[in-house]
Amino acid sequence: MSEVQTQDRDRSGGKVLTDLRDAVRAYVHDLAARKQRAENTVEAYERDLNQAVARLGEFLHRNPELPDWTYENLRDVVYGWAADKLSQATLQRKRAVLSDFSKHLKRLGLIERNPVALLDPPRLKKPLPVVLPETRLGAKLDEMSRLNWPEVRDLALCELLYGAGLRISEALSLIETDIDMIKRTARVTGKGSKTRVVPLSLAALECLLDYLKAREREFPAAAKTPLWLSNQGKPLTRFRAAQIVKKSLGYLHNDVSPHKLRHSYASHLLDRGADLRAVQELLGHESIATTERYTHVSWSRLREAYKQAHPHAELAAVVSEEEENALKPTGKKS
């Protein structure tokens, strides 16, 4: 153990902190208490780190300790994950978690350098977001049944996710007072506990009103929080919400999900001429680059529509890649 490590002792009993599992628990507690990260984020970080420590223990045939947190060992962990055929996006996320934990250990003086900094990040080519066809999506929402309590809830949830572009975690964290029926807005708590106010579509607002009335009839004694309830009157889970969306809209796409409704919301806004910066604020994106992905979707759809509809499309000269890129919308103001 390094001289720096032997000098670092935990606050509870003066014991030298050497066990990696103890270090992970302390780090996770710091994320939740001091940095106030979202609960889902904390759980994901803890899961990734526990998996890394468990795999490290398998390699070493013993409980791993802080001196084992080295470039060579972590390289074997990451290569093992790659051999498991995890996606590049998953590998990139796990590497980021390992790096953040390493920085935490370095700040505490438990390690001298961040070993993950030497690991090459996986090269990630992000696929374009999947967007549901606007006309077919609208028609399907219009024809959804609302004869009983679950059907009223299912329609309201789908209309909200599409009509406000919310993440599923944002939708499920809503309480009744977050909905302003007069201003037609919802107060949403997004990533990093940041709050924003988003407008609601008229369809979403009407369905929410129907849902609140049906909920009151079905569960008059239920608490007003959270907004969304299961068939048994308990808080609706992410898993059940995803099932509802897939069951209601599954025929539109073989892998429809709440997030694809958010993708569709953004792309349909841009298709109709919405300002890129405005869409960024509505979605709660920190970076405009994240929102710009939807401009490429809109451009691809526009190009395909041209090829299918224009009489001279097949006769047109092949446009070079440089010329095509020059024609693409950038989202930048001149």
* pLDDT by 10s per residue, the chain, length 334: 343 343 343 433 444 457 899 999 999 998 888 777 888 888 999 999 999 999 999 888 889 999 999 988 998 898 888 888 888 888 889 999 999 999 999 999 999 999 998 887 666 566 777 888 899 999 999 999 888 999 999 999 999 999 999 999 999 999 999 999 999 999 999 887 889 999 999 999 999 999 999 999 999 877 777 899 999 999 999 999 999 999 999 888 778 999 999 999 999 998 888 888 898 999 998 888 888 877 766 655 555 555 565 555 454 434 444 444 544 544 444 3
Distance of CA 48 to the CA centre of its chain: 16
Strand 185-189 with 179-180, pairing? antiparallel
- Give me the amino acid identity at 257: S
The structural domains of the chain, with segments of one domain joined by +, span 3-118, 134-283, 288-327
Helix (H) or strand (E) holding 189: strand 185-189
Among candidate residues 167, 196, 240, 303, the one labeled active-site is 167
Is residue 35 part of the annotated active site? The answer reads: no
Among candidate residues 285, 293, 296, 301, the one labeled active-site is 285
Is residue 310 part of the annotated active site? The answer reads: no
Is residue 312 part of the annotated active site? The answer reads: no
Using an 8 Å Cβ cutoff, are 101 and 49 in contact? Answer: yes
Is residue 93 part of the annotated active site? The answer reads: no
Among candidate residues 27, 45, 162, 294, the one labeled active-site is 294
What pLDDT, on a 0 to 100 scale, did the predictor assign at position 48? 95
Q: 3-118 architecture in CATH?
A: Orthogonal Bundle (1.10)
Among candidate residues 140, 191, 240, 301, the one labeled active-site is 191
Could you report how far apart the first and last alpha carbons of the chain are, in Å? 58
Of 120, 90, 95, 20, nearest in space to 62 by CA? 20
Among candidate residues 259, 293, 303, 328, the one labeled active-site is 259
Would you call 184 exposed, middle or buried from its count of C-beta atoms within 10 A (0-12, 13-18, 19+)?
A: middle
CATH class of 134-283: mainly alpha
Residues in contact with 131: Cβ distance below 8 Å, sequence separation at least 6, in sequence order = 260, 263, 264, 267, 268, 297, 301
What pLDDT, on a 0 to 100 scale, did the predictor assign at position 240? 95
Give backbone dihedrals phi and psi of 27, rounded to 5 degrees, phi first. Answer: -65, -45
Is residue 285 part of the annotated active site? The answer reads: yes
**Strand, helix or coil at 286?**
coil
Among candidate residues 37, 153, 262, 268, the one labeled active-site is 262
What pLDDT, on a 0 to 100 scale, did the predictor assign at position 19? 83
Question: Is-same-fold flag (3-118; 134-283)?
Answer: no
pTM check: above 0.75 = no
Is residue 262 part of the annotated active site? The answer reads: yes
What pLDDT, on a 0 to 100 scale, did the predictor assign at position 199? 93
